[in-house]
Structure 1
Amino acid sequence: MPIPAPNLYPDFNTIRLSHVCLNVSDLATSRKFYTDILGLQVSDESDSHIYLRAMEERGHHCVILQKSDQPGTVEVMGFKTFDEDDLDKAETYFRSKGRPTSWVERPYQGRTLLTSDNMGIPLEFYHKMDRLEPIHQKYALYRGVKPLRIDHFNCFSSNVDDSVAFYSDFGFRVTEYTEDDESKRLWAAWMHRKGGVHDMAFTNGKGPRMHHVAFWVPTPLNIIDLLDLMSTTGYVDNIERGPGRHGISNAFFLYILDPDGHRIEIYCSDYQTVDPDLEPIKWDLKDPQRQTLWGAAAPRSWFEHGTEFVGAEVKDSDLAATPIIAP
């Protein structure tokens, strides 16, 4: 099935991904992991929430840790629009697609539209977020893996073709994709708004579930430093996959799990995709360098483990094709 042509003039203008709210069991345990190990900075905190940002970010938060009786689930994924009018246009758009819409109050954000995609992933759109002072040159604050910014989401979808068609219609563009040669269906796809390889990606599997949230770091050496830190501070078992380099995206990567099982990718060295007529790159599902240009093959957990979204019904995929899995 061919990937859809990009919609260069969508009904509303999404700039980029913005933030994610993760449900956790113990705020103190999660705070230690996200600040001392990853190196995110606390913007604010209470008995129920911790708001975090990365070093280059001026917005108030890119991660919200929420104490919950449903730990290991995802509350919502957030995106920023170009202007205020885009929020009203987005409401009209999602209603026309039969998706639920409501206006919600979010601390440190202006008007916020809550909706969901065709698979039930909860999404929120906003334009204004409180701005904080720049800290990217406050080098005394740098610790952990030294994350610069949130980079992308990757989600399991029970039908990648349908997910790609839905996001493409409101302006996301495919940069790379994997096609199952037998069925000619999409097994995975990478889609962007901000001019990198992806803001949102979809992988075939039981879904919707979050596969991972990724953070951009300056160099591969930051990832090596993180591995040394995790292996000597009690987190060696939280290292799931890597380091290595992806064929898709060309990114140097590491995958780790937080204390509640949310998967995090540490990521650098992908490429620019600003040109609107850039042709997507196609990969064969059986190409071993697709997922790993070099490095150990992905373990089975990487294809099977994900964190569910609150309120979203999870369905099995009917696409049985499988890539190479480590023994």
Structure 2
Amino acid sequence: MTSVYREPIFDVAQLGHTELLTPTLEKSAAFFTEVYGLYPVAETADSVYLRAWNDDVLTSLKLTASPEAGLGHVAWRASSPQGLERRVAALTERGIEGRWIDGDIGHGKAYSFMAPGGHSMEVYFETEKFRPAPDQKPYLPNQPQRYNPHGVAAAHIDHINLLVPDVAASRAFQEEALGFKLRERLVPTEDNEVGAWLSLMTKSHDLALTREPAQTDGRLHHLAYAVETRDDVLKAADIFMENGVFLEFGPAKHSRTQGFFLYVFEPGGNRIEVFAGGIHIFSPDFEPVTWTTEAGGRGTAWGLAVPDSFHSHATPVLRG
């Protein structure tokens, strides 16, 4: 791929929140609060709203009852009201016909649209900040709440991985319409892009796009929250084990992004990651890294084999 420097777009700042669908709402909510370590902040007849202890917003995860697991929507927070308007104009220029919605618990009006890979997305700016109760007030005023860990103690929402039929086309759309920066990609053979890792600011990735193996679209590979250290990932493995949660993959280190990871399934069937570290990009003209194969023939940095389920399982699960 020829590297062409383009003026960076910073109209979108971060992964704001995600909605996961689950056929077992009560069990999923219990997993995320009691085992994964999130905090409930609101509840409706069909949904539960959660946040991690170091999220500065009211909510970063919405769980919604549904016949099948999967992604309800993923929402990206704009850098400013003006940036939001510019990105909506960019979407319109590309033929994306979305609609304005009034908002939801924790955020104001948002522009809802369907991305080329078949996933429902939102872009918004207005958000409600988390205000700690007296017993949650931190000693240090530059953190959202007192550190009072329970379960895995997930610290903040980190990234999402979506399956798409055409990685190159979906990646180009995210770059051009929303301002994502390509950091790494996997191209085993010429013109056969099967994975792309993109970020909005300096992280290794806010969004990963990997090729959908089936004749469908709109599926979720995984959602990840970060913990503070590698040791927290190892501790998470023990906590999952003690709570009867199957460890699908890890703990280990990714080749791409260099993050330390562990994958499990929440009761509804969605794959959830515990993530720590990862490279940060500080150069404004960073040249994306193209992988033609796994490093040294390894699927992970230290040689841990990738389980077959990691390439075959996604939500919603395909029948037959």
State TM-score, norm by structure 1: 0.86
Q: How does 1:1-327 map to 2 (within 5 A)?
A: 2=1, 5=4, 7-10=6-9, 13-68=11-66, 70-105=67-102, 106-133=104-131, 136=143, 138-140=146-148, 142-170=149-177, 171-181=179-189, 183-206=190-213, 207-235=217-245, 237=246, 239-288=247-296, 291-308=299-316
Question: Structure 1 residue 288: deviation in Å?
Answer: 5.0
Question: Structure 1 residue 295: deviation in Å?
Answer: 4.8
* Structure 1: gaps spanning 5 or more residues: 315-327
Partners of 2:115 and 2:155 in 1: CA distance? 28
Question: Structure 1 residue 286: deviation in Å?
Answer: 4.4
Matched-pair contact (CA < 8 Å) for 2:295–2:301: no
Matched-pair contact (CA < 8 Å) for 1:243–1:295: no
String of CA shifts for 1:38-84, please: whole Å, max 9, x gaps: 0011111233211111111111111100112x330211000000111
Question: Structure 1 residue 225: deviation in Å?
Answer: 1.8
Partners of 2:183 and 2:159 in 1: CA distance? 13
Partners of 2:59 and 2:52 in 1: CA distance? 8
Q: Which amino acid counterpart does residue 262 of structure 1 have in structure 2? A: N
* Alpha carbons of structure 1 residues 118 and 285: separation in structure 2 relative to 1, 3 Å: same
Q: Which amino acid counterpart does residue 88 of structure 1 have in structure 2? A: E
* Alpha carbons of structure 1 residues 67 and 6: separation in structure 2 relative to 1, 3 Å: farther
- Identify the residue that residue 318 of structure 1 maps to in structure 2: none
* Alpha carbons of structure 1 residues 128 and 158: separation in structure 2 relative to 1, 3 Å: same
Partners of 2:314 and 2:205 in 1: CA distance? 19
Runs of 4+ with >6 A deviation: none
What is the SS of the residue equivalent to 2:191? coil
Matched-pair contact (CA < 8 Å) for 1:7–1:169: no
Partners of 2:36 and 2:303 in 1: CA distance? 22
* Alpha carbons of structure 1 residues 284 and 146: separation in structure 2 relative to 1, 3 Å: same
* Structure 2: gaps spanning 5 or more residues: 137-142
String of CA shifts for 1:166-203, please: whole Å, max 9, x gaps: 1111311111111123x332121100003101111111
What is the SS of the residue equivalent to 2:97? coil
String of CA shifts for 1:198-223, please: whole Å, max 9, x gaps: 11111122333211111110112212
Matched-pair contact (CA < 8 Å) for 2:12–2:84: no
Partners of 2:2 and 2:11 in 1: CA distance? 21
Q: CA RMSD in A?
A: 2.1
- Identify the residue that residue 140 of structure 2 maps to in structure 1: none
Question: Structure 1 residue 15: deviation in Å?
Answer: 0.5
